[in-house]
């Protein structure tokens, strides 16, 4: 498959991707949603209540989570800890953290907690686009790979069946 | 397993400023990357790319003689269209127009100078991981096609 074809498929896949935004600041959410909708994303859920994140994650099954780090009651770090047991180790399920604290320590802590990348506030929308596209692209490729693996297993099982039929 | 695959990835760094190159190389080595190629001569970029077949290219944008934008255009001409070969640009120019220009030309991502090494680590890992999945997918497609052929043959 050519990368051009893939890019087109990616494009339509990306636009169908489900994105969950968790940020206690409604203004930030509005800004992000408006921008993402402008880019063609139409499957977005948001919450300003960090306590709802885990249940939203379970019910919405987003492809990507945009997670604010500094929130009252429950920090982004704590949410990352809560999400960990829900996401199997070998599954590619990206979390992109949003933070005004761009100190290396803050970034490092987010990385160590399982975040895939981060966006600095205030947002630079070229970066917003890039980070989201790149993470969704990887998730898409990961999912395609899983699908292919499954088909491959089925085909091999079929082969074995046919061959064992011959041996009888 | 993915981690060790990533650490074996071949990374080509093109930057005319030697201190930058050395800094990046040292950092990457410290992180466990073993296969790093460097040049401070932007005119060598294309030749090195062709001879070394890297998995990721880190490309400075502002260089004397030939700019990173030009090198980017040259590289994209010879990179097969069906391949996912990420180029990440390194730039001190953090204006939106500079970023947009590089991205419009085909760069996958960028890192601003002076380097924030957590960021460097994030970006490199993410791009290499995407390349890994892309290559695995291509491989699986090939194997799948072979198996389908085999099954077809056996049935007929």
Q: Which chain B residues contact residue A148 at CB under 8 A?
A: 137, 140-141, 144
pLDDT bin (cut points 50, 70, 90) of residue A168 is low
Q: Which two tokens stand for residue A160?
A: 């074995």
Tens-place pLDDT, residues A78-91: 999 999 999 988 89
DSSP-derived 3-state class of residue B109: strand
In whole angstroms, what is the distance from residue A84 CA to residue A78 CA?
Answer: 10
> Which residue in chain A has the smallest CA separation from B123?
A117
DSSP-derived 3-state class of residue A102: coil
Q: What one-character-per-residue DSSP string does A35-71 give?
A: HHHHTT--EEEEES-GGGHHHHHHHH--SEEEEES--
The pTM of this model reads 0.88
Least CB–CB distance from B122: residue in A92, A111, A141 = A111
Mean pLDDT of B52-56: 96
**What is the predicted pLDDT for the residue at A43?**
96
For B7, phi then psi, to 5°, come to -65, -25
Tens-place pLDDT, residues A38-52: 988 989 999 999 999
Tens-place pLDDT, residues B1-17: 578 889 999 999 999 99
In whole angstroms, what is the distance from residue A32 CA to residue A112 CA?
Answer: 25
pLDDT bin (cut points 50, 70, 90) of residue A132 is very high
Q: What one-character-per-residue DSSP string does B10-45 give?
A: EEEEE-S-HHHHHHHHHHHHHTT--EEEEES-GGGH
In whole angstroms, what is the distance from residue A63 CA to residue A85 CA?
Answer: 17
Mean pLDDT of B74-88: 91
> Which conformational region is residue A40 in: left (phi greater than 0), alpha (psi within -120 to 50 degrees), or beta?
left
Mean pLDDT of B18-37: 94
Least CB–CB distance from A159: residue in B126, B134, B150 = B150
Tens-place pLDDT, residues A49-82: 999 999 999 999 999 999 999 999 899 999 999 9
| Contact between chains at A2 and B154 (C-beta distance less than 8 A) | no
Mean pLDDT of A135-151: 92
Q: Could you tell me how far CA A92 lies from the centroid of its own chain?
A: 8
**What is the predicted pLDDT for the residue at A84?**
92
Q: Which chain A residues contact residue B140 at CB under 8 A?
A: 145, 148-149, 152
Least CB–CB distance from A117: residue in B116, B126, B143 = B126
**What is the predicted pLDDT for the residue at B108?**
92
**What is the predicted pLDDT for the residue at A2?**
41
Least CB–CB distance from B84: residue in A3, A130, A135 = A3
Domain residue spans of chain A: 3-167
Residues B70, B99: contact at Cβ < 8 Å?
no
pLDDT bin (cut points 50, 70, 90) of residue B89 is very high
In whole angstroms, what is the distance from residue B81 CA to residue B32 CA?
Answer: 30
- Closest approach of chain B CAs to the CA of A35, in angstroms? 16
| Contact between chains at A117 and B141 (C-beta distance less than 8 A) | no
A157: pLDDT strictly greater than 90: no
Q: Which chain B residues contact residue A111 at CB under 8 A?
A: 118, 121-122
**What is the predicted pLDDT for the residue at A1?**
37
| Full domain range(s) for residue B141 | 2-155
In whole angstroms, what is the distance from residue A43 CA to residue A63 CA?
Answer: 10
Total number of domains in chain B: 1
Residue B58: CATH number of its domain? 3.40.50.2300
**What is the predicted pLDDT for the residue at A159?**
81
In whole angstroms, what is the distance from residue A77 CA to residue A71 CA?
Answer: 10
The CATH number that domain A3-167 falls under is 3.40.50.2300
Distances (CA, A) of A100 to A39, A107, A122, A134, B74: 24, 10, 7, 21, 37
> Which residue in chain B has the smallest CA separation from A147?
B137
């Amino acid at each position: 498959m050519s990368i051009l074809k893939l890019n087109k498929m990616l494009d339509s896949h990306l636009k169908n991707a489900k994105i969950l935004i968790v940020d206690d600041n409604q203004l930030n959410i509005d800004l992000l949603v408006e921008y993402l909708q402008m880019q063609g994303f139409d499957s977005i859920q948001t919450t300003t209540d960090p306590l709802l994140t885990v249940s939203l994650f379970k019910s919405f099954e987003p492809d990507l989570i945009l997670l604010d780090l500094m929130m009252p009651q429950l920090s982004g770090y704590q949410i990352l800890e809560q999400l960990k047991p829900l996401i199997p180790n070998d599954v590619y399920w990206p979390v992109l953290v949003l933070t005004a604290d761009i100190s290396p320590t803050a970034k490092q802590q987010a990385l160590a907690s399982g975040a895939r990348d981060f966006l600095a506030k205030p947002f630079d929308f070229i970066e917003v686009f890039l980070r989201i596209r790149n993470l969704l692209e990887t998730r898409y490729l990961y999912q395609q790979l899983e699908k292919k693996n499954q088909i491959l297993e089925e085909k091999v099982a079929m082969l074995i069946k046919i061959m064992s039929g011959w041996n009888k | 397993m993915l981690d060790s695959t990533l650490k074996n990835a071949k990374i080509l760094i093109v930057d005319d400023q030697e201190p930058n190159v050395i800094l990046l190389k040292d950092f990457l080595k410290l992180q466990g990357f073993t296969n790093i190629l460097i040049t401070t001569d932007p005119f060598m970029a294309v030749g090195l790319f062709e001879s070394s077949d890297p998995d990721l290219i880190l490309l400075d944008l502002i260089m004397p003689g030939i700019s990173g934008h030009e090198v980017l255009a040259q590289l994209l001409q010879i990179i097969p269209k069906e391949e996912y070969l990420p180029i990440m640009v390194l730039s001190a120019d953090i204006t939106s127009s500079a970023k947009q220009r590089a991205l419009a030309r085909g760069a996958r991502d960028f890192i601003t100078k002076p380097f924030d090494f957590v960021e460097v680590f994030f970006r490199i890992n993410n791009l290499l991981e995407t390349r890994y999945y892309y290559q695995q997918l291509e491989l699986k497609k090939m194997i799948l096609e072979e198996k389908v052929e085999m099954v077809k043959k056996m049935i007929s």
